Structure 1
Amino acid sequence: MSTGEPAAGEPAPHGSAPVPGAEDGQPRYEPAPGVGKLLLWVLLFVSAAVVVVLGGVYFT
């Protein structure tokens, strides 16, 4: 082939890595985080905010 890409069924040349999503031409994306993981992050940030506020109240 003149494009430098191997034909279907031929092995890729040495040193070239396969491109994710190249089989069907569509890019691949990571799935969205689950509701539990999102809730965990929200609780982490809320608890950090509470600690900062309580620390400010305590030290003033």
Structure 2
Amino acid sequence: MIWPSNGGGFPGFILPLVFRGIGLVAHGLGAFMGTGYADRLALKEYKRLKAQR
């Protein structure tokens, strides 16, 4: 590896890896968990508005 042979220092390559990982996890949760949360909120609001009539 080039990084340790150049004296180390701040491991700048870690930041993109961390943020890419966070993005992949967030995307995976959104893809596999679906839109259930948004649908539940919309249904709750619909019922609340319907009850006001």
TM-score (norm 2): 0.53
Question: Could you give the per-residue CA deviations for residues 22-41 of structure 1, whole angstroms, max 9, x where no partner exists?
Answer: xxxxx54222532xx22435
Rounded to whole Å, the distance in 2 between the matches of 1:7 and 1:47 is 51
Shift of 1:18: 1.7
RMSD (CA atoms): 3.1
1:10 aligned residue:
7
Gaps of 5+ in 1: 1-5, 22-26
Shift of 1:53: 0.6
Superposed, 1:1-60 pairs within 5 Å as: 8=5, 10-12=7-9, 17-20=10-13, 27-28=16-17, 29-30=20-21, 31=24, 33-34=27-28, 37-38=29-30, 39-40=32-33, 42-60=35-53
TM-score (norm 1): 0.49
Rounded to whole Å, the distance in 1 between the matches of 2:49 and 2:5 is 65
Gaps of 5+ in 2: none
Q: Using CA pairs below 8 Å that are at least 6 residues apart, which structure has the higher relative contact order?
A: 2
Rg larger for: 1
Higher share in helix: 2
Question: Could you give the per-residue CA deviations for residues 9-52 of structure 1, whole angstroms, max 9, x where no partner exists?
Answer: 5242xxxx32125xxxxx54222532xx2243510000000000
